[in-house]
A and B are shown apart, each in its own frame.
Chain A
Amino acid sequence: MSIVLYLISEAFLNLRRNALVASGAVLAVFVSLALAFGALVFNELVRVNTLQWQQGDHLIVFLKDEGGQAAHNTLLEQVRNYDEVESARYLDKSGAYREFQEMYSDQPALAATVSAADLPASIRVELKDISAYQEVQFRLVGDPLLRRMSVFSEGIERLMSLTQVLNSIGVGLVAILGAAAVVLIANTIRMAIYARREEIAIMKLVGAGNWFIRVPFILEGVTVGLLGGGLAAAAVYASHQLLSGVPTDILIRFQVEPGFLAGRGFLILVFGGLAGLFGSSLGLRRFLRI
């Protein structure tokens, strides 16, 4: 037990002695991991905002209230029979209200201003081929039940390919910045070892084992990683809180689920610690051989 306490105190003493280098490493890890975490959150925002379109609602036909349910069912059957249509479903006012409440569950003030009566019923259309949206649009124009049509086919295509690109960039960024954090910590530990090379040689001469010398450096690396990761998680959480309070276009949400933030934030913290462990082990490997 005394050895454990001794090694921990040595690690923190080292950090205090190399405060400037250690602070630089914490900041560098913080920037890397904050960007990586930011990329994860951005990807989630893109996913949340395009969820409706990814689920296959290529075209939404909003209906007037006239004619009632029977007229709406007739039109639904008519749409289902179009050759271009893969499937069509009817969403009545209460369904539209439920969907609205779900979409804006994180904005209760907005959700409270809308009632089921305010929202139109609609037919959600999934097309066999999205490029055929104009034919369907042409058939429906002039229908007395039609209130408005939202066509998303081209937008969807662009958005989907953009989402894929953004996802790939995000994953790439996370990988590169994560690796950068590891290398930065490894470099910091190497610098610390180089600065203390004579001291380490003396430790070896009086019989200090490899692990007795290594453990304080590893703890130093893990502490740097945890501090950097913790700061990154806190910074992204704070930025998210700030952004989610900014009033935006109703169709764009700057909010992700709190569970997502907490989960990924914890992962970033753990990754920081692991990066410290791996980075310091990497830094030690070449320099501490008996």
Chain B
Amino acid sequence: MIRLQNVAKVYDGGIVAVRDVDMNIRRGDFVFLVGPSGSGKSTIIRMCLREERVTRGKIWVAGKDITKIPSWKVPYLRRTVGTVFQDFKLLPNKTVAENVAFALKVTGCPPSIVRNQVPKVLDLVGLSAKSDRYPRQLSGGEQQRVSIARAFVNRPPILLADEPTGNLDPATSVGIMRLLDRINRTGTTVVMATHDHAIVDAMRRRVVRLDRGKVVRDMTDSGYESTNDPLEP
């Protein structure tokens, strides 16, 4: 579903964010990208969305080499990839329902489908009763649920989450992880960048550990740290 081949990213000024990363994420996987700040987790997420371009290498997302697609096709890529961010990135002047509906409207979805799908996904994230509220009227956890609802409303095959629990307390984070787990069980591939030990340890999923832009560990059914890791320095 997502494949990175020999990917490197060097920012202006020669700062190396990612170096020689190879990774293959299959359909339906739930993968944690872990590592300290500056290890390249967010850069990988951003490159998968074509927010950043690779300096070297190739990335395939849903079967397409996104390093080669022209700029005008990038919105179509982003419609196949749901995204969740630490700071929620909700439209402040739109209500909960409007924020979720927006992801459908940009694809030219007929109003009848929008009217049908939005309540369903709001029900999934447990916010049906707050569909008319504005983001500022919600708690952090609720805002992140809206963000997840928006990312999932058009049933994308891939969901990328960049530190989705970074701004939340542990109890709320557990709720968000349950939600992402539920979405993953529908067959959606979930890739989540985090440095939250507790969550990674509790979920026991595939963990890719990055350090200074390189993959230093890639293990399935793992925790945040591993003592018998062959790649661990």
Which residues of A approach B to under 8 Å, CB–CB? 2-3, 6, 17, 198-199, 201-210, 212, 289-290
CB-contact partner of B74 in A2, A203, A212, A290, under 8 A: A290
Is B42 interfacial (CB-CB < 8 Å)?
no
Q: Which residues of B lie under 8 Å from residue A207 when comparing CB positions?
A: 75-79, 103, 106-107
A46 CA to B74 CA, complexed, in Å: 58
User: Within the complex, what minimum Cβ distance (angstroms) separates A204 from chain B?
Assistant: 7
Contacts of B107 in A (CB 8 A): 207
Interface check B93, CB cutoff 8 A = yes
Closest to A208 in B: B106
The answer, among A2, A17, A201, A209, for a CB contact under 8 Å with B106, is A209
User: Which residue from B71, B93, B103, B108 sits with its C-beta under 8 Å from A206?
Assistant: B103
Q: Are A209 and B105 in contact (CB under 8 A)?
A: no
Interface of A, secondary structure class, is: helix
Contact partners of A202 in chain B: CB under 8 A: 89-91
Across the interface, B72 reaches (CB within 8 A) one of A3, A6, A201, A210, namely A210
By beta carbon, the residue of chain A nearest B151 is A206
Chain A neighbourhood of B71, CB < 8 A: 289-290
Q: Is the CB of B75 within 8 A of A2?
A: no
State the Cβ distance, A239 to closest chain B Cβ, in Å: 41
Taken together as a complex, chains A and B put the C-alpha atoms of A208 and B78 apart, in Å, by 8
CA distance A203 to B74 in the complex (A): 12
Q: Give the complex CA separation of A206 and B106 in angstroms.
A: 8
Per-residue interface assignment for chain B, residues 70 to 107, with 1 indicating a CB less than 8 Å from any chain A CB and 0 otherwise: 01101111110001000001111100000000110111
Interface assignment of B110: CB less than 8 Å from any CB of chain A: yes
CB neighbours of B93 from chain A (8 A): 17, 199
Shortest CB distance A177–B (Å):
35
Across-interface contacts of A203 in B (CB, < 8 A) = 91, 102, 106
A166 CB to closest chain B CB (Å) equals 50
Hey, which chain B residues are within 8 Å of A2, CB to CB? 110-111
* Cβ–Cβ contact B83 & A206, under 8 A: yes
Q: CA separation between A198 and B88, bound complex, in Å?
A: 12
Interface size class of B (residues with CB under 8 A): 20 to 34
- Bound CA span A207–B71, Å: 12
Set of chain A residues within 8 Å of B150, measured between Cβ atoms: 206
Chain A residues within 8 Å of B79, by CB: 206-207
Q: Is B208 an interface residue (CB 8 A)?
A: no
Q: Is the C-beta of B49 less than 8 angstroms from some C-beta in chain A?
A: yes
Q: Which residues of B contact A3 (CB under 8 A)?
A: 105, 108
Give the Cβ gap from B69 to chain A, nearest Cβ, in Å. 11
> A205 contacts B49, CB within 8 Å?
yes
Which residues of chain A are near B49, meaning CB under 8 Å? 205
CB of A290 within 8 A of CB of B110, answer: no
- Decide if A208 touches B75 in the complex (CB within 8 Å): yes
Q: Please name the 6 residue pairs, one residue from A and one from B, whose CB atoms are nearest each other, closest first.
A: A207-B79, A207-B78, A208-B106, A209-B75, A206-B103, A207-B75
Partner of A205, one of B72, B76, B89, B92: B89
Residue of A nearest to B154 (CB): A207
Given contact pairs A17-B93, A207-B75, enumerate 8 new A-B contacts (beta carbons under 8 Å): A3-B108, A202-B89, A205-B49, A206-B106, A207-B103, A207-B106, A208-B106, A209-B106
Q: Hey, which chain A residues are within 8 Å of B77, CB to CB?
A: 207
CA distance A204 to B81 in the complex (A): 12
Instruction: List A contacts of B110 (CB < 8 A).
Output: 2
Rounded to whole angstroms, the CA-CA distance of A202 and B92 in the bound complex is 11
